[in-house]
């Protein structure tokens, strides 16, 4: 009950208004539910959430609200609120599990999605948790990637490995894992491309087979729209163990990141981190209720 009261404050103001109309009602009509669902649909579509995911959520809310009996003592309004909240949590998912232990994490994504920035941010995050991270930069494709990664690792005050003059990302990955073997968390940054080109996928496959990461995270710009599903599918196929987490970047901008949910759904994964700024500290662990209020707000 406490959780639903909290979440009411987080819901968008128009949805809150619609839910408030239910106050004191002893029965909730199909029309009431329809109004609420419409409100949620509007917000989610505006936040770039995939149409079919929105439809699925709407159907679930309608079915449950009309067919399930509220537990004794729960008012109809609180009951609907709980269903809405539970279904929204189901839509966005739980946070990717990243135990604070030794592990290797590989980052994948298109150029400009924010991989290099995220690598340094995550390293900073793990170091604040008391672990010793290292960033391994294998991006030999994008000019300036080495310098940028090195500089950000310095700002994060974490170990860094890269080879500025090499054009062999697989060899860098191999050397980097060896050179940073003392680190607890080895974060391997990979090269992107402007689009899903074959050589990007091939390169990623080779790095993946060399690194054999414990976790592979797909980095997506919050502004990603309809392309998320296709991108996620290609990356998921290229990585032997598949994508097991998503990072959404640039949430400090106007985009709400709902498009990334299609990638989460496609890869059957969850969201690990959110990025909201250009400095190494602008990272937070994904947490369902905060993200839900962002989507609906
Ligand atoms: P990569 O090509 O995937 O490695 O992408 P980069 O890490 O180089 O990021 C591309 C651009 O986006 C850079 O200018 C970053 O500073 C910027 N960027 C990355 N993450 C964020 C973020 O969370 N917020 C903002 N505002 N900018 C970001």
pLDDT in tens, 162-203: 999 999 999 999 999 999 999 999 999 999 888 888 889 999
- Rounded CA-CA distance 189/116 in Å is 6
Average pLDDT, the chain: 93
Give the closest residue (by CA) to ligand 1 atom 6: 114
pLDDT in tens, 19-77: 878 888 888 899 999 999 999 999 999 999 999 999 999 999 999 999 998 888 888 88
H/E stretch holding 147: helix 145-156
Read off φ and ψ for residue 95, nearest 5 degrees. Answer: -80, 140
> Which residues sit with their C-beta closer than 6 Å to ligand 1?
109, 111-117, 142, 192, 249-250, 252-253, 275-278, 282
- Mutation probe of ligand 1 site: the residue of 111, 114, 281 with most atoms within 8 A of C-beta: 114
Q: What is the pTM of this model?
A: 0.94
pLDDT in tens, 84-108: 989 999 999 999 999 999 999 999 9
Cβ atoms of 119 and 159 within 8 Å: the answer is no
Q: What is the pLDDT of residue 1?
A: 45
């Amino acid at each position: 009950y406490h959780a639903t009261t909290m979440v009411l404050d987080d819901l968008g103001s128009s949805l809150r208004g619609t839910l408030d109309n239910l106050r004191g009602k002893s029965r909730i009509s199909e029309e009431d539910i329809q109004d609420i669902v419409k409100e949620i649909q509007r917000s989610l579509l505006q936040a770039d959430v995939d149409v079919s995911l929105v439809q699925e959520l709407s159907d679930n809310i309608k079915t449950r609200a009309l067919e399930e009996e509220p537990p004794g003592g729960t008012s109809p309004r609180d009951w609907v609120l709980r269903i809405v909240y539970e279904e929204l949590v189901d839509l966005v998912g739980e946070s990717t599990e990243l135990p604070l232990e030794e592990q290797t994490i590989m980052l994948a994504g298109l150029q400009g999605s924010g991989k290099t920035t995220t690598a340094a941010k995550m390293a900073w995050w793990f170091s604040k948790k008391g672990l010793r991270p290292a960033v391994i930069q294998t991006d030999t494709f994008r000019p300036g990637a080495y310098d940028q990664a090195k500089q950000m690792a310095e700002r994060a005050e974490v170990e860094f490995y890269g080879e500025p003059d090499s054009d062999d990302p697989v060899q860098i990955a191999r050397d980097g894992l060896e050179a940073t073997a003392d680190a607890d968390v080895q974060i391997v940054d990979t090269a992107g491309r402007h689009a899903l080109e074959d050589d990007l996928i091939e390169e990623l496959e080779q790095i993946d087979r060399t690194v054999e990461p414990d976790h592979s995270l797909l980095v997506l710009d919050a502004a990603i729209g309809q392309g998320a599903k296709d991108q996620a599918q290609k990356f998921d196929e290229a990585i032997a163990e598949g994508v097991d987490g998503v990072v959404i970047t640039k949430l400090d901008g106007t985009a709400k990141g709902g498009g990334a949910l299609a990638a989460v759904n496609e890869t059957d994964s969850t969201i690990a981190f959110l990025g909201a700024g250009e400095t190494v500290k602008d990272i937070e662990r994904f947490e369902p209720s905060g993200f839900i209020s962002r989507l609906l707000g």
